[in-house]
Amino acid sequence: MTHSVPKADITHAAAVLKAGELVAFPTETVYGLGADASNADAVQKIYAAKGRPSSHPLIVHVADAVQLANWARDIPPAAHVLAKKFWPGPLTLVLKRNPKVPDAVTGGQDTVAIRVPSHPVAQALLREFGGGVAAPSANRFGRVSATTAAHVREEFGDAVACVLDGGAADVGIESTIVDCSRATPSLLRPGWITPQQLEAALGAPLAAPDADAPRVSGTLEKHYSPQTPVMLMEGDLVIELAHSLTRQGKKVAVLARTTLRPLIDDLVWRAAPADAAGYAHDLYANLRELDQAGCDAILVEQPPEVAEWYAIRDRLNRAAAGSGENH
């Protein structure tokens, strides 16, 4: 459901970036909140708008892999293999940083995260702009990422004047992040590109995650969270708990997969697509909608424990983490 943006809007957005201001733009994963990555003052505005601690590094978006050397150094062969296979696309590589990269982008770390997005509007913007665009997901810190331009406006209101509307993001969850800054590549954040696909491309296993890995804020235990407490459980428990909470006078929302809607008055019910791609595509829109229904809890039916659902389960676990403390 990608849609195009008039050329004049792209030209305007690139000028806004050059002037050191923020531009929200679509990517195939989620919307990004972008600033000129070579301008530390501009990058600082991202942290202010998001309410994000400035120690959390940002992803630099570039139009093609040719620009890697402007941002990274000592790029290992494995990074080139992954770039060739998955770019443009929903993959972010963490590499040793080029000394020119402002500390504001990297959170002062010796590494930098880089991605070449495939969304045609992101591509057009990056080509017109010419340089790198530092962009986190376009949501306030800790909240659910935005997958439409309307969600971006919900998050930031007038604080971000320039929002390019490229339609609903295709993938719907954030990019897979792979650390290529150390001897063996390792997975820092699961995404639509699975560990199995990465290992197949590399022809070797990924390294197990360890304590020395670069920091990733998207891996904070609680993240991607609606304001309403989220509880994750098997389908039969969802129905049971929905009944019992309702009897206690609570208003309940359910994000269901396959079960039939129970006969409960005032139950807010959302049936998610049965396939992983459809589920991911709708996930954040569904969570936003359920969050806005004024319920006491969002009960989420646990997806299957198979590779295809790995990144979705990761996001749901984080959405649910810490929810119990809110009761």
Report the nearest approach of ligand TXA to the CB of residue 92 (Å).
5
The residue ranges of DSSP E strands in 259-308, in sequence order, are 268-271, 297-301
106 touches which of ligand TXA, Mg ion, none (CB within 5 to 8 A by kind)? ligand TXA
Q: How far is the CB of 275 from ligand TXA (least distance, A)?
A: 20
CB-based contact 37:134 (threshold 8 Å) = yes
d(CA 253, CA 294): 9
Instruction: Name the site residues for ligand TXA (rule: CB under 6 A).
Output: 27, 29-30, 32, 56-59, 92, 94, 106, 109, 111-113, 115, 135-137, 174-175, 177, 188, 214-218
Which of the choices Mg ion, ligand TXA, none does residue 56 contact, using the CB cut-off of 5 to 8 A by kind?
ligand TXA
| Helix, strand counts (H, E) of the chain | 11, 14
Q: For ligand TXA, which is the closer residue by CB, 112 or 239?
A: 112
Residues 6+ apart with CB under 8 A from 69: 75, 98
Residue 148 interacting partner from Mg ion, ligand TXA, none (CB closer than 5 to 8 Å by kind): none
Q: What's the closest the beta carbon of residue 93 comes to Mg ion, in angstroms?
A: 17
Q: How far is CA 144 from CA 5, 42, 152, in A?
A: 25, 24, 11
At its nearest, how many Å lie between ligand TXA and the CB of residue 173? Answer: 8
176 is a contact residue toward Mg ion (CB under 5 A): no
x-or-dash string of contact with Mg ion, 108-147, rule CB under 5 A: -----------------------------x----------
Residue 26 partner contact from ligand TXA, Mg ion, none using kind-dependent CB cut-offs of 5 to 8 Å: none
The distance of closest approach from Cβ of residue 74 to ligand TXA in the complex, given in angstroms and rounded to an integer, is 14
Q: What is the DSSP letter of 322?
A: T
**Cβ-based neighbour number of residue 96 at 10 Å:** 18
- Give the number of residues in contact with Mg ion, rule: CB under 5 A: 1
Burial class (CB in 10 A: 0-12, 13-18, 19+), 212: exposed
Query: Is the CB of residue 161 less than 8 Å from the CB of residue 45?
Result: no
In this complex, which beta carbon is closest to Mg ion, that of residue 137 or of residue 147?
137
Contact 140, 44 (CB under 8 A): no
Specify the residue, 135 or 252, whose C-beta has the smaller distance to ligand TXA: 135
The listed partner (ligand TXA, Mg ion, none) that binds 126, CB under 5 to 8 Å by sort, is none
Least CB distance to Mg ion at residue 197 (A): 22
CB of 125 to Mg ion, least distance (A): 19
Check the CA dihedral 103-105-110-116 and report its sign. negative
Return d(Cα 270, Cα 255) in angstroms, integer: 5
Which residues make up the interface to Mg ion (CB under 5 A)?
137
